[in-house]
């Protein structure tokens, strides 16, 4: 984080705001008496999807930053500014997390070349729509989701970003959404059972 610029902070700021939005929603659900004091905006469908929207915005900034569409394509290594076009070496990178089968945050059991990480849990969302007569016309549902964000300590070349689970036959749909020389973003659709999840890059 010591060498972050404007775009890195903008990306992580969007992700942080998505977590705060989810926390506010949980507060409203647990204490209805408090929720009545919130502005009407908090009862709209736009608010329900705001955390997911911010998550997508943060991911897009990461991708644009890596492709060089925004900001400069440089990074710091040992206090020296190195162009991203310079040849990178593979640095073994892995994050292993212990999950508990519920919405508790996981615990890191092993880290290699990981500067920072966090896991974001988004509870399931159900939105009801009605026509002018009050008849329900749509009932979309979004399953609970885990998003894993990893920033690398040292930039590394890589061939592929991989996510795996210790109990694969019981694991939900998992996918590495983005992997580059500085960060990895992975998602899990649905609730994970108890077990160890690993996010890593392959040489």
120 vs 8, more confident = 120
Going through 51-159 in order, the beta strands assigned E by DSSP cover 74-77, 80-83, 94-100, 107-112, 114-122, 125-126, 129-130, 136-138, 141-142, 145-152
What's the mean pLDDT in 136-142? 62
Tens of pLDDT, residues 101-122: 888 899 999 999 999 998 988 8
pTM of the model: 0.56
117 vs 75, more confident = 117
Tens of pLDDT, residues 150-167: 999 999 988 899 999 998
53 vs 145, more confident = 145
DSSP 64-89: HHHHTSSS-SEEEETTEEEETTS---
Which two tokens mark 42?
């908090």
Cβ(120)–Cβ(187) below 8 Å: no
């Amino acid at each position: 984080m010591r060498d972050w610029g404007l775009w890195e902070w903008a990306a992580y700021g969007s992700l942080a705001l998505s977590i705060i939005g989810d926390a506010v929603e949980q507060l409203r659900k647990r204490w209805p008496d408090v929720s009545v004091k919130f502005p009407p905006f908090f009862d709209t469908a736009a608010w329900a999807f705001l955390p997911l929207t911010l998550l997508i915005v943060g991911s897009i900034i990461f991708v644009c930053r890596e492709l060089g569409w925004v900001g400069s394509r440089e990074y710091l290594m040992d206090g020296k500014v190195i162009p991203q076009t310079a040849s990178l070496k593979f640095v073994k990178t892995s994050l292993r997390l212990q999950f508990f089968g519920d919405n508790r945050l996981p615990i890191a059991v092993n880290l290699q070349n990981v500067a920072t990480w966090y896991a974001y849990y988004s509870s399931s969302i159900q939105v009801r729509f009605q026509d002018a007569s009050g008849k329900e016309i749509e009932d979309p549902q979004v399953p609970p989701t885990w998003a894993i964000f990893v920033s690398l300590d040292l930039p590394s070349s890589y061939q592929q970003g991989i996510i795996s689970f210790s109990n694969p036959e019981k694991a939900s749909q998992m996918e590495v959404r983005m992997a580059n020389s500085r960060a990895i973003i992975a998602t899990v659709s649905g609730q994970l059972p108890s077990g160890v999840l690993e996010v890593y890059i392959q040489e």
